[in-house]
A and B are shown apart, each in its own frame.
Chain A
C-alpha cells in the first residue's frame, strides 16, 4: 500500500502517455475522437473502481451520476453559451449536480445503514428510474430555459423566438479566462485536437487524484472497510462517513466523465442512464481488473474496440430470394448474432470472469511488466517511441519508411 511511485509505474506511464500524446499527429482525427470516448468511459469506470475495488461498495448506478453530470452540463451550457461565450458555469454545475445526487443518495444509504446488497440495488434502481424519467421528457414543456430535454432524442437547445425555431447542440467545453482575447473551444476535428487533450488531461488528473486519495487516510480507511467494516469501526472510525465521502467523490468523478461526454459528442440522451450502459461500466472494470486504477481504461478500450470492430461486420448482407424459410431464419439469426455480439460478449465476460475468479487483464499485464522490466525499458519502450515517431513523421511530413 505504502509503496510510492515505482519504476514500473513510470514505465507504464511512459508506455501509455507517449503514444497517447502523439495520437492526434500519428493518426487521422477519427482515432483521437474514438480514444477520447474510451478515456471518458475509463474515467467513469475509474469512479466505480474507486468505490467497488477499494471500498467494497458495488454501485450499479455510476451511470446515474454520469448522466446527471451530462444533462446538467448540457442544460446550463445551452443556456449560457450564447450569453457568456463560455461554459465555466456548466462545468461547475455538472460536477455539483452529480456530487449532490451522490451525496443525497449516499447519505440515505450509508447513514441509514442499509446492507451492501441493498445499496447496490438502490443504485441500480436509481439509474433505471432516471432512465424512465429522461425518456418521458419528450414533450414541448420539458425545457430549462432554451434547453429541451427531448426525451429519446436527447438534449438540444431551441432558439428564442417562436416564429423561427432553430435547434442547436450542446456546446463543447469553452473557456474564456480574463486576459484571453477570445473564447477557446475544446474540439476534436481536423484542425484541432484540443478536446482530445482535454480528455487526456482530465484522465491523468483524475488518476493522480484518486491515487493520492487512496494513500491518505480516506483511502486507507476505505480499504479497511472493504476488508472488515466492523473492525474499522471498532478502531474509532465512523465508517458511514467514509463510505459517504467516497461515494460522493466517486459520484463527482462519474459526473466529470458525463460532462466530458456531453461536451465531446455535443449530445446526451437517456441511454446514458440505461441498463446497457450501466452494465458496460461494470464490464469495463471487471475485464480491466477491479483492483487496478488503470483497469477501467483498459477494459473500456478493449470493449470499445471490439464493439466498433463487430459493428462493421454484416454477415449474410443479402439473403437469396430462393432460400427456404429455415435457411432464411438461420441467416437472419446469424446476422442478429453478430449485431447482438457486443451484448453477448459483455454477458459472457461478466459470467466468465466471476466464475473463473479472475482478476481482469491489467494486473497480469502489470506483473509481466514488472517481471520483464529491463526488456520493457530497453526494447519495448524504444520500439513504441520509434513506431509513433515514424507515424507522426509519415503523416505530417511524408517521411515514410514503409
Chain B
C-alpha cells in the first residue's frame, strides 16, 4: 500500500455565516490528483489552509505523517509542501532568475540554488527571459514561473491552483507535459476548471461542492456521475455564482 502523504480530517473554515470548507481527503504519495468544483466551491480556501497561508477553523491536516494544522506557512514549506496560488503572485520587481533562486535558496543554499534556478529556467522554457523583471512576463509565462517556483525546491507535495488559467491550447499542452514531469518526483494536487486539461492529466479526480467532497474517482466515473453534471450546470443545487 502506498504511503499516505496527505490526510485531511474535517477541515473547516467559516467566513461569517458561510461555511466555505468542510472536508476530509487523503492523497497517496506519487499521485497526480485533480481537484475540481464550481466557482466558490472552496478549493482555493482549502489550498490556503493546507499551505499555512490561512488558519483553519477546525479539523486536522497531516502531512508526511506529521500534524501540521495551524503551522506557519514557512514551516509547512520547509516540510516539503509548496503552492502556486490562484492569483499570480510572482515577485514582480525581481528578475525571473531571482524569483527561482529565492525559491530554491532556502533548501539548497546560495550556489546550489543558483544552479537549480538555471536548470529550472530550462524546464519551464524561460531561459531567454531570465534577467527580465517578472513584471514583464506574459500571463502564461508568469504561470510557468510560478510552477517553477513551486517545484524548484524539490517539494514532496505541490499544490497548483488553476495553473492554466488564461493559457492558449498550445500553452496548456505544454503545461500538461510539465506537470507530468513534475509528478515523477513529487505528489501533485492541481485545481482546474478545464475538462480537457483534466482529461489529459488523467489522474484521480476529486469534486468539491459547497466546501465538501462531492464525488471522487477516475475521470470516466466522474463524467458519468449525474450529480456532478448538475452542480456544474446549476440544476437542483443551491449554488449561486459568486463573482
Chain A 71-115 residues near chain B, CB threshold 8 A: none
Known contacts A221-B102, A236-B106; decide if A230 and B73 are in contact (CB<8 Å).
Answer: yes
Report the minimum CB–CB distance from A256 to chain B (whole Å). 28
Interface residues on chain B, size class? 20 to 34
Report the minimum CB–CB distance from A71 to chain B (whole Å). 37
Residue of A nearest to B149 (CB): A235
Q: Provide the residues of chain B in CB contact with A231, threshold 8 Å.
A: 85, 89-91
Chain B 128-182 residues near chain A, CB threshold 8 A: 131, 149, 153
Residue of A nearest to B51 (CB): A234
User: Considering the chains assembled together, what is the distance between the CA atoms of A221 and B89 in angstroms?
Assistant: 15
Contact pick for B102, options A216, A220, A230, CB 8 Å = A220
Tell me if B192 counts as interface (CB < 8 A to partner A).
no
User: Considering the chains assembled together, what is the distance between the CA atoms of A262 and B95 in angstroms?
Assistant: 42
Which residue, of A228, A231, A238, has the highest number of chain B Cβ atoms within 10 A?
Answer: A231
Tell me if A292 counts as interface (CB < 8 A to partner B).
no
Report the minimum CB–CB distance from B229 to chain A (whole Å). 35
Q: Provide the residues of chain A in CB contact with B72, threshold 8 Å.
A: 233, 238
Tell me if B8 counts as interface (CB < 8 A to partner A).
no
How many A-B Cβ pairs are below 8 Å?
78
User: Considering the chains assembled together, what is the distance between the CA atoms of A230 and B93 in angstroms?
Assistant: 16
Chain A 1-16 residues near chain B, CB threshold 8 A: 1-2
Structural contact, A235 and B102, CB atoms closer than 8 A? yes
Structural contact, B74 and A230, CB atoms closer than 8 A? no
Q: Provide the residues of chain B in CB contact with A230, threshold 8 Å.
A: 53, 73, 85, 89
Partner-contacting stretch, out of B19-27, B76-84, B195-203: B76-84
Interface string of A219-237 (1 = CB under 8 A from B): 0110110011011111111
User: Considering the chains assembled together, what is the distance between the CA atoms of A13 and B95 in angstroms?
Assistant: 26
Residue of B nearest to A221 (CB): B102
- Please report the total number of A residues contacting B with Cβ < 8 Å: 20
Report the minimum CB–CB distance from A351 to chain B (whole Å). 25
Structural contact, B153 and A235, CB atoms closer than 8 A? yes
Tell me if B31 counts as interface (CB < 8 A to partner A).
no
Report the minimum CB–CB distance from B130 to chain A (whole Å). 10
Q: Provide the residues of chain A in CB contact with B153, threshold 8 Å.
A: 235-236
Query: Which 4 residue pairs are nearest across A and B when measured between Cβ atoms?
Result: A236-B77, A227-B91, A233-B73, A236-B106
Query: Which chain A residues have a beta carbon within 8 Å of chain B's beta carbons?
Result: 1-2, 216-217, 220-221, 223-224, 227-228, 230-239
Q: Name 5 extra pairs, CB < 8 A, besides A1-B94, A227-B91.
A: A217-B110, A223-B93, A228-B90, A234-B74, A238-B75
Query: Which chain B residues have a beta carbon within 8 Å of chain A's beta carbons?
Result: 51-53, 72-78, 82-83, 85, 89-95, 97-98, 101-103, 105-107, 110, 131, 149, 153
23 interchain pairs, CB-CB under 8 A: A2-B97, A220-B94, A220-B101, A220-B105, A221-B102, A223-B91, A223-B93, A224-B94, A227-B91, A228-B91, A230-B85, A231-B89, A233-B52, A233-B53, A233-B74, A233-B77, A234-B53, A234-B74, A234-B85, A235-B74, A235-B149, A235-B153, A238-B75
